[in-house]
Homo-oligomer: A and B are copies of this chain.
Amino acid sequence: MSAINIALLGMGTVGTGVVKILANNAHNIEQKVGAPVVIKKILVRNPGKVRNAPTDAKIVTDIDEILNDPDIKIVAEVMGGEMPSKDYMLAALKAGKHVVTANKDVVAKYGRELFEAAEANHTDFLFEASVGGGIPIIRPLKQCLAANQITEIMGIVNGTTNYMLTKMTNEKMDYADVLAEAQAKGYAESDPTADVGGFDAARKIAILASIAFGARITLDDVNVEGITNIAIEDIEYARELGFNIKLLAIAKQDDCGINVRVHPAFLPTSHPLASVNDVFNAIFVKGDAVGETMFYGRGAGELPTASAVTADIIDVARDIRHNVSSRILCTCFDHKHIYPVSKTESPYYIRLLVEDKPGVLAAIAGAFGAQQVSLHSVIQKRKVERSTELVLITYRVSDENIRLAMNTLLGMSVVSKVGNVIRVEAEQIS
């Protein structure tokens, strides 16, 4: 059987990983596909910088050299960024080439357009690497759990912030120091906003929610809150109360509709996600038939991400061998109501600095009570000059009501500062 030729768009970290895997595991991959898979061309911006390219591959700088090459059947996009990646992928699909990508930005924003192009041109469009790096999650959701109504996805899908929160928890380092260390190690970028602001996680949960719920969810539908306000005090109170703080990407579906959000949360230490540490990712999925499942592994990195890209290449190559395409494309068949985060409910952790005098607790409890917020527990902690730190855990309450209560509190003279307000997830407080 003649070789199946592919082109790589980009030769950075992930591209280099794909080259290594296709070389190291060539024999196995040929057996699985029934034909050798060969990199024929690699598109780069600066040919002078390319290292480790396979000797048989032609380095090109013009996308047309790939688009117009009828021998190239599969285009693997590993450049990252929205543009020109999206345009290149669209052009490749329109040229009848199968496309696989690791690009969460493009899939989250332009998924529909790319799926439509794939369908119209009878090609495959796969993106297993766009969420969770090497962790199998897209294909499991689209195929293995296809018989389920998915009710919930809860994931740790950003390695940078999970590394930072783990460090803060285990080594009692504060946020600024941990961020500086993560930047020094290359885990965080010099502008860390996409990670610490929760936007990377938001794109990933938009992709997962779209597949899980069969309705297109975009970044605009995701309520996003990052970890920049998490203080070492919050981490320590969490530990004391039996929780770990994690940046969670959450998508839930119930009778009211769909809600999708990214925010830090208190998670009981007994929850499977609570012990997912360092740069590891994990995605917890609940379905009406399967119950609770979890997928765990490395969410980023050269070889893990390339593992997923290459798996997609192998899958497309199998389709080519069997003369089939577009077997599984867009599964967003429905429009579903997305309800705002203000209507979501959970218990909350609240840390306040209050005046240290009689009657203060009664006043605060009264302010909460006026907004139907019931307090499950109250801990009076360390004194800070003439104030006292007060830690509260509420019963289940709507986000709307907690915000109203916090506004009232901020207007009270006895409240000197609101330290933090953090959701409690996966805990039955009753």
Residues of A within 8 A of B (CB): 17, 21, 24-25, 28-29, 31-32, 128, 134-136, 139-140, 143-149, 214, 272, 275, 287-298, 301, 303-304, 306-308, 310-311, 313-315, 318-319, 322-324, 326-328, 331, 333-334
Contacts and interface: CB of A to CB of B under 8 A. Distances in A.
Given A136-B293, A295-B296, 13 more contacts: A21-B148, A28-B149, A29-B146, A31-B214, A128-B144, A135-B293, A136-B136, A136-B145, A136-B295, A147-B307, A147-B313, A294-B296, A322-B326
Contact of A289 (B17, B289, B324): B17
A290 B294 contact: no
A333 B31 contact: yes
A120 B295 CA distance: 35
Contacts of A334: 31
Q: Of residues A146, A272, A318, which shows the largest number of chain B Cβ atoms within 10 Å of its Cβ?
A: A146
> Oligomeric state, in number of copies?
2
A17 B291 CA distance: 13
Given A297-B292, A304-B290, A310 B147 contact: yes
Given A145-B311, A148-B25, A297 B298 contact: no
Contacts of A288: 24-25, 303
B144 A311 contact: yes
Q: Of residues A145, A288, A290, A323, which shows the largest number of chain B Cβ atoms within 10 Å of its Cβ?
A: A290
Contacts of A134: 287, 289-291, 293
Contacts of A144: 128, 136, 139-140, 308, 311
A297 B291 CA distance: 8
A32 B303 contact: no
A315 B146 contact: yes
A-B interface, 6 closest residue pairs, ranked by CB to CB distance from nearest: A136-B144, A147-B310, A293-B297, A134-B290, A289-B307, A324-B324
A141 to B, nearest CB: 9
Contacts of A315: 143, 146
Contacts of A214: 28, 31
Nearest to A37: B147
A146 B311 contact: yes
Contact of A147 (B29, B143, B287): B29
B324 A328 contact: no
5 contacts: A25-B289, A31-B331, A290-B308, A294-B295, A296-B296
Contact of A146 (B135, B294, B306, B314): B314
